[in-house]
Amino acid sequence: MPDTPSPAGPAETPRDAYPALARALSDAGLETGIRGLHGVLPPSPRDAPSTSLTRTARMPIPRLALLPALALLAAAPLQADPDPADWEAVLEEARGQTVYWYAWAGEERINDYIQWTGRQVAERFAIDLVHVKLSDTAEAVSRVLAEKQAGNHERGNVDLIWINGENFATMKANDLLFGPWSEELPHYPLTDPVNTPAVRYDWTIPVEGLESPWSSSQVVFYYDTALVDDHPRSMPELLDWARDNPGEFTYARVPNFLGNAFITQALLELAEDTERLYTPLVETEFAEVTAPLWDFLDELHPLLWRSGRAFPANSSELRRLMGDSEISIGLSFSTTEASGAIANFELPDTVRSYVHDHGMIGNMGFLAIPYNALHKAGAMVVADFLLGPEAQAHKQDPVVWGSNTVLSLDALDEADRARFDEIDLGIATLAPDQLGEVLGQPHPSWVDALAEAWQDRYVGR
């Protein structure tokens, strides 16, 4: 997830905001599916000692010409990689390790959950978990790439990454990932992988044991029933509603993941041929396939909050606009976000969730381990803990976070199933049978191209 809260304002993201990694990959002769990458590298968590469980990434990316100097980091060979099939040996090796988890930090509830995870793995496995806070997952990809270019193949700074989509596709294509490992985790069978393709494919890209699922999300809209009598049920109906209620709706600024989700959802509803969206982009087809989206957005934007001249930066800002009654319809990538916000007094108790009639986008969040991670054993133990029923149920509680479980409830024993049955999903959360069809994420190349085209078309207007 790529954004942190900032004051709402004009869509000022420059059109060339993301060239650094793409340029670096090109210079190195490597492949990328990413068209939107911040040109910054997180500081090395080992640059200075700290007892804090978190650290924020802010250091600029060094020029690639200087990177060979970093090869000194790889001066001494290390022991062989841990074997995930020998779990007792993994647990033993993990004890005492410090795991640097590079994860998006744009939502305080998620940050608090990661803090909780750190306390649990410290107590149970003697692992020190450090949350390296990111504004964009691409920052972690940039660091691993820089280390590879510097010849640092064994002492990487990144041990674990919260990842999916285009970032996973890029790391996999360029051999930046450790594995396969995830299918050997003790809790992995609880995902029922044979009958759950979502844990085996990440935005159409085969996972092949290179990342472990840990969160499940689906886009939903939410609205204030005190202000809206009859909510829209499709993108054309949303446009009609906006004509009658100008200024009452908006969405997050692209390339924030929620903004990307909205325009992708719109394209899936409006395009004549959606099958092409699930295969790699053919550049000559882009204009034809996406034309209905731009027609829709061109008409919608003048009807948005602030007439479409400014967009909230992320889900937190969008939620604040709803809480302040500046808008009456919003959207989220969490089916329980509205309920959690009501419980935390961020939204009025008249807010409810809804979905469109023909399905909503959903996807999995994964955890990956870079090929050169220094603490692979500890990273695997953290990933397995997060995949366990206790951590998954705690995460699904709307008061904690509200992220849906990746586990198959039918695969759980009675005691673990009870953990989920006891969760109060909240008054604004739709029942599972009300969420409708889950639409898969298109191929990363389409999502990247959409974000780039959106910025070319609307930034600065």
Q: Rounded CA gap, 184 and 91, in Å?
A: 13
Count of Cβ atoms closer than 10 Å to residue 12 Cβ = 11
Q: In b/e form, how buried is each residue of 234-256, taking b as 16+ CB within 10 angstroms?
A: ebeebbebbeeeebbbbbbbbbb
Residue 44 is predicted with a pLDDT of 53
What element of type H or E holds 260?
Answer: helix 257-270
**Contact between residue 199 and residue 214 where contact means Cβ atoms under 8 Å apart:** no
Both ends of the chain: CA-CA distance in Å?
A: 26
Q: Rounded CA gap, 454 and 461, in Å?
A: 11
DSSP string, 74-95: G-S--PPPP-TT-HHHHHHHHT
Radius of gyration, alpha carbons of the chain: 22
Residue 14 is predicted with a pLDDT of 33
Alpha helices for 372-439 (secondary structure H): 376-387, 389-396, 414-421
Residue 6 is predicted with a pLDDT of 32
Residue 402 is predicted with a pLDDT of 87
How far CA 412 is from CA of 184, 188, 196, 389, 396, in Å, comes to 18, 12, 15, 8, 16
Residue 24 is predicted with a pLDDT of 47
Q: Rounded CA gap, 356 and 332, in Å?
A: 13
Q: Rounded CA gap, 49 and 43, in Å?
A: 12
Residues in the chain: 461
Residue 26 is predicted with a pLDDT of 53
The structure tokens listed for 381 are 């133990």
One-letter amino acid at 264 equals: T
Burial zone of 224 (CB within 10 Å; 0-12 exposed, 13-18 middle, 19+ buried): buried
The structure tokens listed for 278 are 């699930």
Residue 310 is predicted with a pLDDT of 95
Summarised one tens digit per residue, pLDDT across range 278-326 is 999 999 999 999 999 999 999 999 999 999 999 999 999 999 999 999 9
Cα 427 from chain centre: 25
CB neighbours of 422 closer than 8 A, spacing ≥ 6?
A: none
What element of type H or E holds 106?
Answer: none
pLDDT averages per 10-residue partition of the chain, 461 residues: 36 35 51 41 44 43 43 52 97 98 92 98 98 93 95 96 93 96 98 92 94 95 96 98 98 94 97 93 95 98 97 94 97 93 94 96 94 98 98 93 91 95 93 87 92 91 54
The structure tokens listed for 106 are 């744009």
- Does the N-terminal peptide bond of residue 180 adopt cis geometry, omega within 30 degrees of 0? yes
Strand partners, 202: 205
Q: Rounded CA gap, 416 and 404, in Å?
A: 15
**Contact between residue 182 and residue 211 where contact means Cβ atoms under 8 Å apart:** yes
Summarised one tens digit per residue, pLDDT across range 95-128 is 999 999 999 998 898 999 999 999 999 999 999 9
